[in-house]
Amino acid sequence: MQREITDLAPSLPSQPISLDVLQEKYFKQGESDVEDLYRRVARALASVEREDIREQLQARFLDNLRAGAIGAGRIMSAAGTDIQATLINCFVQPVGDCIQGVDDAGYPGIYEALREAAETMRRGGGVGYDFSRIRP
C-alpha cells in the first residue's frame, strides 16, 4: 500500500515563537500562514522547469514542503520574491597565495577574496574560507 507523502508529515503543536519567526523572517506581503509560504516557494522552485511539467513539479515541491522537507533559510525567505539575494546559504571562498589580484593558479588574492566575500555577505550568503593554497 502506497501512502501519500503528506501522510508522512509529523504533526507538531504550534508555538508562539514559531509564528514570530515566520512573520519576522519568512512571510512576505500577503502571506499569513505557512501554507502561503509553501505555495510561494513551490511555485518559485518549479518556475525554472519545462513548462509542460511545471505544474506537476510545483505540486510535488508543495507536497515535500508539507511533509517537512524545508529548504534553507535563504530559499524560504527569498524564493518567489523580487528580493535581490542568493538562494544559497553558504559559500566557500578560495584564497590564493598573494595579497592582491590573482595568484599563478588563478585564485583570488587575499584582498580580492575579501571583496568577493563582502559581496556574498551583502546578498545574504555566508562565507567559509579555503586557505589551503597559501604557503605555510
Q: pLDDT per residue over 76-121, tens digit each? A: 999 999 988 778 889 999 999 999 999 999 999 999 999 999 998 9
- The predicted pLDDT at position 116 comes to 96
Closest by CA to 102, choosing from 132, 133, 136, is 133
Count other Cβ atoms within 10 Å, centred on residue 61: 21
What is the average per-residue pLDDT within 56-85?
92
Bridge partners (DSSP) listed for residue 92: 128
DSSP codes, 47-104: TTS-HHHHHHHHHHHHHHHHTT-PPPHHHHHHTTS-----S--EEEEE--SSSSSB-T
- The predicted pLDDT at position 12 comes to 66
Q: Are 111 and 100 in contact (CB under 8 A)?
A: yes
Q: pLDDT per residue over 34-56, tens digit each? A: 999 999 999 999 999 999 999 99
Cut 0.75: pTM above it: no
Q: Grade residue 6 by pLDDT with cuts at 50, 70 and 90.
A: very low
